[in-house]
Structure 1
Amino acid sequence: MDRLSYSAAWLSQWRAEITDAVDAMAATFEETYGFPAGDNEVRLADEDDSRAVRAYAREMPGADDLLTFYQSIGEVLLPDVGNGFFLHSARDVLRRVEEEGHVFLPMADDPHGTVIGSNGGGILFVADRGGVIHRSRTASTDGGEFDRIADTLPDFLDLIRRSVVRFVETGEPGCL
């Protein structure tokens, strides 16, 4: 991916590359897997998302990369990539924080994290307040079993892009 600085333009290019890969996957998906592809998309933010972003900014100060993301992208739904991959909407992230609180990340520089995504097997992706992304080892936030997988949200988004392209090209899900 071109090295634009992280911005709405960077996210637009990121979305286009994933959309192109998913469109290529959908063209042969049923022939390859024996059932039709689901709805795989990187949904643009809408007015409801914009309201949630404003609430997110009040609840999660210092999460600038996530705010930039949610101002452009409503959510990522890739049920047919590997086990599935999902980046939750700002509304869903806030609801989860309200219901369950923050995730404890004992090995992180900042031990307070927010679940921002998951895969179809229950693995969770958590952003700490410093912007580092962690992956749960199990389908639970209990026990603090997380691994650091990206130093920044843009690094994580690039990992997603590379994993989607790898899955489309080889059938292997990559690191998701």
Structure 2
Amino acid sequence: MSERLLSSAWLSLWVSTVSGALEEMTEEFERKHGFPPGTNQVRLADREDQEAARALGCEAPAAVDLATFYGSIGEVVWEDVGNGYFMHPACDVHQQLVEYGAVRVGESQEPCGLVIGSDGGGVSYVIGPDGSIHRTRTASLDEPEFDRVADDLRQFLELLDRSLARFVATGEPGYL
């Protein structure tokens, strides 16, 4: 098995690391920014999240990592890190797929990407059928242009971790 694949153990370590950084950030947030922090958390998956993940997997089989992610993590909400970062719950990803269909990403001729997250400025993050993560260049999913930001979900989560660490240290999350 590739060491790049997500595992529940790796995700548990990731959650522990980013939760500590989020706690540090929120403790000093109001003093630094002059207003109280919003929601900044990684919510662990509950039974409903896991059921939604299974439904999503049946509707649109995607990368193995996505099923592993949603088996452990229900949602990522970082309202105050830069413009914000959000990994949508499986039920929202599934609902978006049912209502609007898959997104054409990369060189694919067929719509096959799933919108799994966004930032607070309306930019969307899409996972392709190969597990790569792409970011829209604009806030629109109508004929979007994408930039590949990570080779897989694990690398994307590592980039989120680095953005959070940079934000805690400097107040700037960088570009993701």
| Both structures adopt the same fold (TM-score exceeding 0.5) | yes
Distance 1:110 1:127, change over 3 A: farther
Residue 53 of structure 1, CA deviation:
1.3
- Structure 1 segments (4+ residues) deviating >2 Å: 3-6, 106-111
Residue 109 of structure 1, CA deviation:
8.9
Counterpart of 2:47 in structure 1 is 47
Equivalent residues in 2 for 1:86-105, closer than 5 Å: 86-105=86-105
RMSD: 1.6
Q: Quick one: percent identity of the two aligned structures?
A: 52
Residue 127 of structure 1, CA deviation:
0.3
Kindly indicate whether the alpha-carbon contact (under 8 Å) linking 1:113 and 1:127 is maintained by their aligned counterparts in 2: yes
Counterpart of 2:145 in structure 1 is 145
Kindly indicate whether the alpha-carbon contact (under 8 Å) linking 1:87 and 1:117 is maintained by their aligned counterparts in 2: yes
In the alignment, the residues of structure 1 paired with residue 109 and residue 167 of structure 2 have an alpha-carbon distance, to the nearest angstrom, of 32
Do residues 19 (structure 1) and 19 (structure 2) align? yes
Kindly indicate whether the alpha-carbon contact (under 8 Å) linking 1:105 and 1:112 is maintained by their aligned counterparts in 2: yes
Residue 5 of structure 1, CA deviation:
5.7
Counterpart of 2:79 in structure 1 is 79
Distance 1:5 1:131, change over 3 A: closer
Counterpart of 1:114 in structure 2 is 114
Distance 1:123 1:62, change over 3 A: closer
In the alignment, the residues of structure 1 paired with residue 99 and residue 109 of structure 2 have an alpha-carbon distance, to the nearest angstrom, of 24
In the alignment, the residues of structure 1 paired with residue 65 and residue 137 of structure 2 have an alpha-carbon distance, to the nearest angstrom, of 24
**2:172 aligns to what SS in structure 1?**
coil
Kindly indicate whether the alpha-carbon contact (under 8 Å) linking 1:110 and 1:130 is maintained by their aligned counterparts in 2: no
Residue 141 of structure 1, CA deviation:
1.3
In the alignment, the residues of structure 1 paired with residue 89 and residue 44 of structure 2 have an alpha-carbon distance, to the nearest angstrom, of 10
In the alignment, the residues of structure 2 paired with residue 137 and residue 163 of structure 1 have an alpha-carbon distance, to the nearest angstrom, of 18
Which amino acid is the alignment partner of residue 139 of structure 1? A
Q: How many residues align?
A: 174
**1:15 aligns to what SS in structure 2?**
helix
Q: CA offsets per residue over residues 49-83 of structure 1, 9 Å max, x none?
A: 01101101211224210000000000000000000
Kindly indicate whether the alpha-carbon contact (under 8 Å) linking 1:87 and 1:118 is maintained by their aligned counterparts in 2: yes
Counterpart of 1:169 in structure 2 is 169
In the alignment, the residues of structure 1 paired with residue 5 and residue 129 of structure 2 have an alpha-carbon distance, to the nearest angstrom, of 21
In the alignment, the residues of structure 2 paired with residue 131 and residue 140 of structure 1 have an alpha-carbon distance, to the nearest angstrom, of 22
Q: Structure 1: where are the runs of 5+ without partners?
A: none
TM-score (structure 2 length as normaliser): 0.93
Kindly indicate whether the alpha-carbon contact (under 8 Å) linking 1:4 and 1:10 is maintained by their aligned counterparts in 2: no
Q: CA offsets per residue over residues 10-53 of structure 1, 9 Å max, x none?
A: 00011111100010001110011110001210000001101101
